[in-house]
Structure 1
Amino acid sequence: MTFGSVIERNVARPLMRLVTMGGAPILQQLHLEERLLRRTSDNWCIVNDGTAPPTIVMGVSGKVSELVDIRPVLQDHVPVVRRFSGGGTVIVDQGTVFVTFICNKTAVGGLQPFPRDIMSWTGQLYGKVFRGFGEFHLRENDYAFDHRKFGGNAQSITKDRWVHHTSFLWDYDVKNMSYLKNPQRAPEYRQARDHTDFLCRMNEYVPSRSVFTEGITAALGDHFTVQHTELETALSDHDDFVPSTKVLSPQDLQDIISSKEPPTAQRGEGWPR
């Protein structure tokens, strides 16, 4: 039995507000997501097609010195963002497509608000999206075609709501991957492969970005009444919100090189991999 099948057909589907953006900076996207998670009671899906400039994004508990090659990052002026959720470290750019679900705990029938349950449900949903486009798998906490990863995930769970966000590699620049170190905690299926052997590009399997985003809307329609919502509506009445997602300054990074990295945030809401 899949999640949501316990909902009787005569019960109205909950509303899912869909916001689409093209090329929004990842910092703006993460600030929006955190605001919607903490200041609204609606269900949201945020789709952002690409971002600029190339940016490293870390989970709330990630240790910079273990995950980022800091000297070339400083030399090339690559921004480093520490987001509000858990999960791993990624570098994102115009070739990345972002999809985020922000939901009330009662939004999906039968879904318990725990990391593995949420991951199972999103894996089922994306299984519909990628049907016919390759051997899609939920491998540990990643989305993969066969044994190669193309989607990394992070989550945050609050008292009444949860967020699950994914960075999908429609394409990627091999050079950008060199800014990241191989994590000490890696999924077993990675088998010590470097980034280029471990990752694949979605454009090798899916005809177009629009096919992908249309598939998301269709799959959401099995669980929700999907309503397209303008970004301005999503931003309204929350101008006083102060997000926890921050950009690390060059001085922060210099201090880390000097072995002055402060203690990482306590693990709680997030789900580090």
Structure 2
Amino acid sequence: MNVLNTLLAASGQNHPTKMDAIIFWIKDHMSLAGKHWSPAGFGEGPNIFSNNFTTQSFFLILSAVITLILFGVLYNKKQKTPTGLTNFLEPFVIYVRDEIAVKNMGEKDGKAWTPFFCSLFFLILGSNLLGLIPGNATATGTFWITGSLALIVFLCMTLVVAIKYGPVNFIKAFMPPGVPGWVLLLLTPLEMIGLVVKCVSLTIRLFANMLAGHIVLFSIMALLYVFSYYAILAYPIAIGIYALEVFVGFLQAYVFTFLAALFIGEMFHHAHPHHDHDEEHAH
């Protein structure tokens, strides 16, 4: 049996075509359930990652380990004048602290939460960039991983706020001051549902952007399999899209972290015991 029929055996195709092979190859990569790296079977062989969740989890853990090594071992906070790797990472840390954490949560809470947002940013960034290495998996290109990250943000918006300010102030965060009671009966449940909607949007935004970019890249690469060397002119386009994907990797890490800080900061602000007084003073 030729390589094409072997590749398509799992898809149930009786008369496989090249287009069938490409579709199966892309689906195979997105699900990470197979052992093939190309529609023609190049790189065919045993795969130690036999389960798609395990594969994506491995690269998520790898990103976490790299982040821990960078900041737990190589990053030197004691340097008065940062040099080397510390000098490279310092602008990212300062930007996350000043432009994301402090701006959305205030000076005190922002600086206290900077390690969390830095961890979130570099974990997502590492996962995004690792997925661009041929043969690797993009952990952030699956719904379950991005959903887990969004769940962490949801717990920060609910459980952490309830512990920090108390259950009463947490419930009051969904009740804007000065609103009639009968309106609150409708508004409060909607505000609570809004927390879930925000986290779902975080999940889908990151997952969809990373998944779409890989589908485009694989589709262009598949042209060489269909049209042979006549498709070589399409590869400069693939290089351009690849460079764009590197930018998107940074952008999506920033967007996820920024929105997480914005959503958590909103809950901290509304649940703060002096929130009502501040509102009246502002008016």
Q: Which has the higher contact order (CA 8 A, sep 6+)?
A: 1
TM-score (norm 1): 0.25
TM-score (norm 2): 0.24
Q: Which protein is bigger by CA-based radius of gyration?
A: 2
Give the number of the structure whose residues are more often helix, by fraction: 2
